[in-house]
């Protein structure tokens, strides 16, 4: 994930330089998050319809707000426990007078259910753990709100970088299948268009039909044990095992890519 490494190790530290001592508005943080989402979309080959929460889940990245929050509270902790008495006096004075700078760390402490005495006693790792816990809960809440991510939220339990992606189109197709953003005909339901499979005229073409039931892909399914009929389990569970199990992942990516190319060729006839 060279793109992610460049963004996180080089670009982002420069962008966020100084934000520990100056306050960013919520609007500014949201704007930075949109920029970062755009970076992740390019890295993963994501479509415009891909939920931002899925981007973060696959890249394994904290939200922009969580990074700003962590940086601000780490700075507060270092200052209060540091040797520079003048900085301690300034911080305490701003806190007592509820100055503008104090409003942001005070808000973050409230969101984490922490007090100033608690943050002072914590170490760097403990602060990071608290901000990540908060961020993970927000991430899960967002996933729960996305109907299209029903299978994704069942199998993706944490914000974690997935090592299955490379610079191939097969990786792009795998990502889109995992996030349920393959451009199948079911998306036409929003505009009153045809939702049926290109091969099965009376069957809706959604992810489950494409992966498990369309008879046009029988040969390709025989290459992967998870996709071989008959199916005795819940179809959503079978799709989840196929897309999220790390077993034989490269073979599954190859088969999925072949299936997608066959499907695309059918639309060009």
Percent of the chain with pLDDT over 70: 99
Look at residue 86 and tell me whether its pLDDT is greater than 80. Answer: yes
Global pTM?
Answer: 0.89
Q: Give the confidence band of 120 by pLDDT, cuts at 50, 70, 90.
A: very high
Max Cα–Cα distance, the chain, nearest Å: 76
In a domain, 106, yes or no: yes
In a domain, 196, yes or no: yes
Q: b/e string for 93-113 if b means 16 or more Cβ within 10 A?
A: eebeeeeeebebbeebbeebe
Look at residue 70 and tell me whether its pLDDT is greater than 80. Answer: yes
Q: Are residues 247 and 123 in the same domain?
A: no
In a domain, 161, yes or no: no
pLDDT score, position 1: 63
In a domain, 163, yes or no: no
Q: Are residues 138 and 238 in the same domain?
A: no
Q: Are residues 179 and 94 in the same domain?
A: no
> What length is written for the chain?
269
Q: Are residues 138 and 253 in the same domain?
A: no
Segment 71-96 shows an average pLDDT of: 91
- Last-in-domain residue among 117, 147, 177: 147
Segment 238-261 shows an average pLDDT of: 95
In a domain, 159, yes or no: no
pLDDT score, position 268: 56
Percent of the chain with pLDDT over 90: 74
Look at residue 124 and tell me whether its pLDDT is greater than 60. Answer: yes
Structural domain of 13: 2-147
Q: Are residues 12 and 133 in the same domain?
A: yes
d(CA 182, CA 267): 14
Stretch among 20-34, 118-132, 162-176, 188-202 having the lowest mean pLDDT: 188-202
pLDDT tens profile 130-189: 999 999 999 999 999 999 999 999 999 999 999 999 889 999 999 999 999 999 999 998
Q: Are residues 143 and 174 in the same domain?
A: no
In a domain, 121, yes or no: yes
Q: Are residues 123 and 177 in the same domain?
A: no
Whether the CB-CB separation of 168 and 174 falls below 8 Å is answered with no
Q: Are residues 206 and 239 in the same domain?
A: yes
Phi, psi of 196 (to 5 degrees): -80, 155
pLDDT score, position 95: 86
Q: Are residues 108 and 185 in the same domain?
A: no
69 vs 268: which has the higher pLDDT: 69
Q: Are residues 193 and 143 in the same domain?
A: no
Look at residue 5 and tell me whether its pLDDT is greater than 90. Answer: no
pLDDT score, position 266: 78
In a domain, 154, yes or no: no
Closest CA to 178 of 100, 92, 243: 243
Q: Are residues 132 and 205 in the same domain?
A: no
Cα-based angle 38, 179, 208 (whole degrees, multiple of 5): 155
In a domain, 232, yes or no: yes
pLDDT score, position 12: 87
- Last-in-domain residue among 147, 181, 211: 147
Segment 13-20 shows an average pLDDT of: 89
SS (H, E, C) 207-242: HHHHHHHCHHHHHHHCCCHHHCCCCCCCHHHHHHHH
Phi, psi of 245 (to 5 degrees): -70, 135
Residue 230, preceding bond cis, omega within 30 degrees? yes
Q: How many domains does one find in the chain?
A: 2
d(CA 156, CA 140): 10
- Last-in-domain residue among 96, 112, 147: 147
Q: Are residues 110 and 236 in the same domain?
A: no
Segment 90-116 shows an average pLDDT of: 91
């Amino acid at each position: 994930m060279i793109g992610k490494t460049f963004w996180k190790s080089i670009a982002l530290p420069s962008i966020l330089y100084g934000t520990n001592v100056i306050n960013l508005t919520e609007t500014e943080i949201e704007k930075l998050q949109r920029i970062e989402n755009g970076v992740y979309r390019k890295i993963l080959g994501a479509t415009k319809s891909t939920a931002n929460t899925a981007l973060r889940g696959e890249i394994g990245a904290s939200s922009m707000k969580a990074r700003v929050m962590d940086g601000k509270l780490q700075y507060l902790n270092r200052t209060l426990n540091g040797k520079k008495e003048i900085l301690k006096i300034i911080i305490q004075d701003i806190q007592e007078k509820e100055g503008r700078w104090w409003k942001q760390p005070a808000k973050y402490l409230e969101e984490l259910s922490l007090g100033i005495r608690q943050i002072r006693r914590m170490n760097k790792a403990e602060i990071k753990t608290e901000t990540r816990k908060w961020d993970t809960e927000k991430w899960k809440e967002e996933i729960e709100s996305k109907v299209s991510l029903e299978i994704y939220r069942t199998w993706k339990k944490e914000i974690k970088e997935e090592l299955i992606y490379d610079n191939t189109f097969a990786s792009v197709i795998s990502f889109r299948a995992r996030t349920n953003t393959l451009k199948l005909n079911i998306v036409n339901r929003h505009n009153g268009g045809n939702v049926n499979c290109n091969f099965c005229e009376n069957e809706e073409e959604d992810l489950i039909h494409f992966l498990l039931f369309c008879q046009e892909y029988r040969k390709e399914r025989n290459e992967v044990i998870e996709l071989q009929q008959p199916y005795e389990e819940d179809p959503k569970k079978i799709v989840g095992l196929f897309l999220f199990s790390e077993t034989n992942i490269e073979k599954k990516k190859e088969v999925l890519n072949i299936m997608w190319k066959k499907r695309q060729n059918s639309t060009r006839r």
